[in-house]
Amino acid sequence: MVRTRVPTPHGEVFLHLYHNNRDGKEHLAIVVDPAQLNTPADEEPIAKPIRSKSLDEVWEGENSEMDRIIRGAYRGRLSEVGFRASSPHRSWDAFTNKFGISVPAPLVRIHSECFTGETIGSMRCDCGEQLDEAIRRIAEPTSVTLPSGEVKTIPGRGAVVYMRQEGRGIGLLSKLRAYNLQDLGYDTVQANLMLGHGADERSYGIAAAIMRDLGLGAGEGSEDIRLLTNNPDKVQKLEAAGVRIAEQVSMVPRTWRCQGEEQSPEPAGTPASDAAARLRSAGATLIGASMTRGPELEKYLRTKVLRMGHMLSLPPSDSAGNA
């Protein structure tokens, strides 16, 4: 495992790259925990830091602080000047916050790789938008009230566990074949089945192991989590793998939040710019073409709701019987 800091439009995140001996793929965890950047090493953070146990362990054959730095086992922001070793071996299992307040459970998303949606901006799915939206929502600050009555804003925290399960686990090659079948009119479920695959071949054992390592919903001293998903199968499989989910938080596609309004390009004063402004004022960072939309995305989203049981309300036109 290796960890590094990455600045993003939503703030600085820590990218953890995990090796495993089950499927040989490199899965990732994108950890949002600004307290690790802002809290001086000798001060208690307000919420439990999201730390990887395997990263903090001393590894066999590790001889110097530089070895640990190179693999990312440090706290705070590295810089040539002013780096502090910062109690690298401390375990946070028994963490209690000394401010006497309860903070919201960390927000977590288990995201599945989608080359087409995330890298080339395909409008067949909303995967790129979901990844952006997940990091934005995890990083969103919240207000807490101190025992003195003072209201304090604390940064959002949580993680996206990024699983290399392209095409719901069937792989990119099969997904591209499925797209060709979809062009003939089949939906995403039918196309998978016609190719001899299951509708969804993903498993969540490795995701649960990563969460255990990070103390998110599983493992010694871990916190319960809030899970960002609409997928009931994901919730059920994670719980079966021992992950404690305090709350399921849904993700409404941006296009369904702004139904009927034009968008990109966004000349000022148009419904498009209003829709984008509303999303921005809600904190959204709109990337690329603002939001994904179009008939193919519409069909994809409706299939998720109608055939895969995703917990989302259809927009008014669909619930009126057009599905």
Ligand X SMILES: Nc1nc2c(ncn2[C@@H]2O[C@H](COP(=O)(O)OP(=O)(O)OP(=O)(O)O)[C@@H](O)[C@H]2O)c(=O)[nH]1
Q: Which of 39, 229, 255, 290 binds ligand X (CB under 6 A)?
A: 229
d(CA 143, CA 126): 30
Query: Is there a catalytic annotation at residue 93?
Result: no
Rounded Cα gap, residues 323 and 319, in angstroms: 7
Q: In angstroms, what is the minimal distance from the CB of 112 to ligand X?
A: 3
Query: Among 7-15, 40-48, 83-91, 164-172, which window interacts with ligand X (CB under 6 A)?
Result: 164-172
Shortest distance in whole angstroms from residue 243 CB to ligand X? 14
**Dihedral Cα 274, 278, 284, 286, nearest 10 deg:** -10
Choose the catalytic residue: 202, 226, 293, 302: 202
Minimum distance from CB of 310 to ligand X (Å)?
6
**In the complex, minimum distance from the CB of residue 104 to ligand X, in angstroms, rounded to a whole number:** 20
| Annotated catalytic residue within 200, 212, 213, 226 | 200
In three-state secondary structure terms, 78 is coil
178 C-beta neighbours (distance < 10 Å), count:
24
> CB neighbours of 124 closer than 8 A, spacing ≥ 6?
116, 117, 179, 182, 296, 297, 300
Candidates 79-87, 111-119, 271-279, 283-291; binding stretch for ligand X (CB under 6 A): 111-119
Residues from 259 through 318 that contact ligand X (CB under 6 A): 304, 310
Please choose, out of 54-62, 88-96, 146-154, 159-167, the segment that lies near ligand X by the rule CB under 6 A. Answer: 159-167
> Known catalytic residue: 200?
yes
Query: How deeply is 136 buried, as exposed, middle or buried, from its count of CB atoms within 10 A (0-12, 13-18, 19+)?
Result: buried
**Contact at 8 Å (CB) between 31 and 16?**
yes
The rounded distance, in Å, linking the Cα atoms of 126 and 111 is: 12
> Active-site positions?
200, 202
Binding residues for ligand X, rule: CB under 6 A, are: 112-114, 125, 127, 130, 165-168, 170, 175, 178, 188, 192, 229-231, 234, 251, 304, 310
